[in-house]
Amino acid sequence: MLKIFRNIRRKLLSENRSSKYTLYAVGEIFLVVVGILIALQINNWNESKQEDAITQKYYEGFISDLEKDKTLLDTLINVRKKQSASAKVLLGMIESKEYDLDEFYNHYYFLFPFYRFIPNSNTMEEVLNSSHLRFIKDENIKNRILNLRSAYKSIQLNEEHVYEDRAVYLYSDLTLNHIEFNGLFIADSGFDVIKKREVSFSKSKDAEVYRKDAEYFINNRHFKSFLNLLEFNLQFVIPQIEGTRKECSSIISLIEDKLK
């Protein structure tokens, strides 16, 4: 192609046709500009295609992370609701001064397991650490994911607060002097790990010890205050976790619609 243009230019110059040469030169410049524009357009198209592939990879990563977070939040909601129910049952026993030994301890020991919520933030951390937030072009999705990240941090802070209250109560001498930690295994599975046999609190060899301790807790103001504080915190924490779990589902639906 270049050889053809060179021959035409040489012929026009040899024939001294300046007007036609000028017209030819303008046309040649026009063709060069068009060629550059086409090359730029192809380059932009390739870059756009690469960016779309990166964006899709991040969207798919977000969906994967959020699905896992939903499972974690479901577990956390389940644990916290059961603990709230146990606290209410125990408060009822304290008010009535009537209780069944096995029921008391099955609720009592369920107050102590601590479930730490650790969200799956691999995709978000990759996006932020690589300065690729610009690839999340949907502003609604971007903002909601960032807000969700803040909600996760709030849940973790609240969970730490619940944990600290629990630790202060559990490791107080007022508690430690009246609790058998072997009861954790009995409450969890009805199995005495030390004695390696099926057992209940009321039928345990240490039944009288458990009964004496239960009487202490039923009449202990420190224990009642702990239950009231735990229930107060959970009434705030549970709706927050449920709302965050709902937001996870909503964002997943938004991203799935975007990918379609």
Q: Residues 64-84: what's their mean pLDDT?
A: 94
Q: Answer whether 153's CB lies under 8 Å from 221's CB.
A: no
Please, which pLDDT band fits residue 91 given cuts at 50, 70 and 90? very high
Q: Residues 212-221: what's their mean pLDDT?
A: 95
**Domain edges within the chain:** 17-259
Model pLDDT, residue 124 = 86
Q: Which residues have CB under 8 Å from 219's CB, separation 6+?
A: 94, 97
Q: Answer whether 88's CB lies under 8 Å from 231's CB.
A: yes
Please, which pLDDT band fits residue 193 given cuts at 50, 70 and 90? very low
Residue 152 has which token pair? Answer: 């996760």
Distance in Å from the first CA to the final CA of the chain: 44
Question: What is the distance between the alpha carbons of residues 257 and 27, in angstroms, rounded to a whole number?
Answer: 48
Model pLDDT, residue 196 = 47
Question: What is the distance between the alpha carbons of residues 84 and 238, in angstroms, rounded to a whole number?
Answer: 9
Please, which pLDDT band fits residue 206 given cuts at 50, 70 and 90? confident
More confident residue, 219 or 10: 219
Q: Would you say residue 47 has pLDDT above 50?
A: yes
